[in-house]
Amino acid sequence: MRLGIVKYNAGNIYSVINAVRRLGVDPIVTDDAETLESVDGVIFPGQGEARSSMEYLRERGLDRVIVGLRQPVLGICIGQQLLCGHSEEGDTECMGIFPVTVKRFSPTLHNEKVPCMGWNRISPLVSAHRGMRDAGGLFAGIEDEAYVYFVHSYYVPICEWTIARTEYIVPYSAALRKGNFWTTQFHPEKSGLVGERILMNFLENIKG
């Protein structure tokens, strides 16, 4: 399996590299268009700021490359948000795979801190029993209310592409899927055995 990881001006990429290496895959970290188009699957991870990240991607033509990918793609954290249509962070136009606006948390109580940081529960929404979009196996073996790790100030509202939800201040999308694109707002690479299983499930989609 040839797994590509998108190289750009975002943090936390190396924790993803180490996580997939623990699963037996040595990824190709690249910002080269031809390489990303030729690999079997792509992870688009990171922590960062929407406007500067999109500027970096556009300068290198990576925004067009990512949108055009036909192999399985997993966006993580800012990777999820940049695959949406627009972000309130810096009033930024993003890539538009998921035509929804990323919003900033608006605390209403003194104990509601932003960024949201720490462990929280997710509820996978499986099409077979909740009438929601098919998660494509991303949550196989994951129990409802499993804990995963979040660090973010912006969120994707619940929408028709939501495949898992969580709640902090408001209910929001913990994960999305549309065609060959999967995303998680949480960090599977920092989420212990649950996150490891989610990454393994994504890799199984590549093999399949």
Spatial separation of the C-alpha atoms in residues 198 and 141, rounded to whole Å: 9
Hey, what are 27's tokens? 């990824």
User: Long-range contacts: 190-194, Cβ < 8 Å, 24+?
Assistant: 190/15, 190/149, 191/147, 191/148, 191/149, 194/142, 194/146, 194/147, 194/148
**Contact predicate 149/190, CB 8 Å:** yes
Active site residue 187: yes
Active site residue 189: yes
The residue from 89, 94, 116, 187 that is catalytic is 187
- Short-list 191, 186, 187, CA closest to 172: 186
Active site residue 152: no
The residue from 77, 84, 94, 116 that is catalytic is 77
Give catalytic residue positions: 77, 187, 189
